[in-house]
Amino acid sequence: MRRILFILSILLLAFPVLAQQPCGLTVDQSPRLLNLKLGMSVSEVNSVIGRDLKVKVKPAGERTFFKNYIKKPAKGTLTGIRAIYLSFYDGGLYQIELFYQDEYRWPDLGSLLRDYSSSQSFSENYWKVKNGYAKAQCDGFSLDADRVLTPHIQLTEDAVMKRVETERDKKKN
């Protein structure tokens, strides 16, 4: 009986530690946003989004594509989107940022995280929630989500973001 209690106590103590393990996924294993994946080229992005949106950016350097649907709702694969930001560096997608219509799908941050995690097979245990903001830090990429104004989620390749920030700092000086 003591052995069983001992084993159960070890399992109970180990479970919270396991639930708080950091995300070990790499950029290649990163989830998708709107079926878009980090590292995609502009032509790959256009083939995924199709005729609902035509992304045009120059192939070299840092480039950002922005489209909003404030006056006219998005349709097709972009249904529910209020605004989309796509950031490219030397032709590769390094950041995807989506703002959704306020009434679209998720009444709170928890439901956004649950829905995203289940649709992407991305463990809910990776999210750290504090003051209405959620962050998942993985090996080479990060996910941020909130519902402060509207549902919002952002996927970023961290190493490329650091390069972009370094180049921005050099241009300022």
Backbone Cα Rg of the chain: 19
User: Is the dihedral angle over the CA atoms 138, 48, 116, 16 positive or is it negative?
Assistant: negative
d(C-alpha 134, C-alpha 83), whole Å: 19
* pTM summary value: 0.84
pLDDT value of position 151: 95
pLDDT value of position 157: 98
The stretches in the chain having pLDDT less than 70 are: 1-21
Per residue in 64-106, pLDDT (tens digit) is 999 999 889 888 889 999 999 999 999 999 999 999 998 888 9
d(C-alpha 148, C-alpha 151), whole Å: 7
Domain boundaries, the chain: 23-172
d(C-alpha 34, C-alpha 40), whole Å: 13
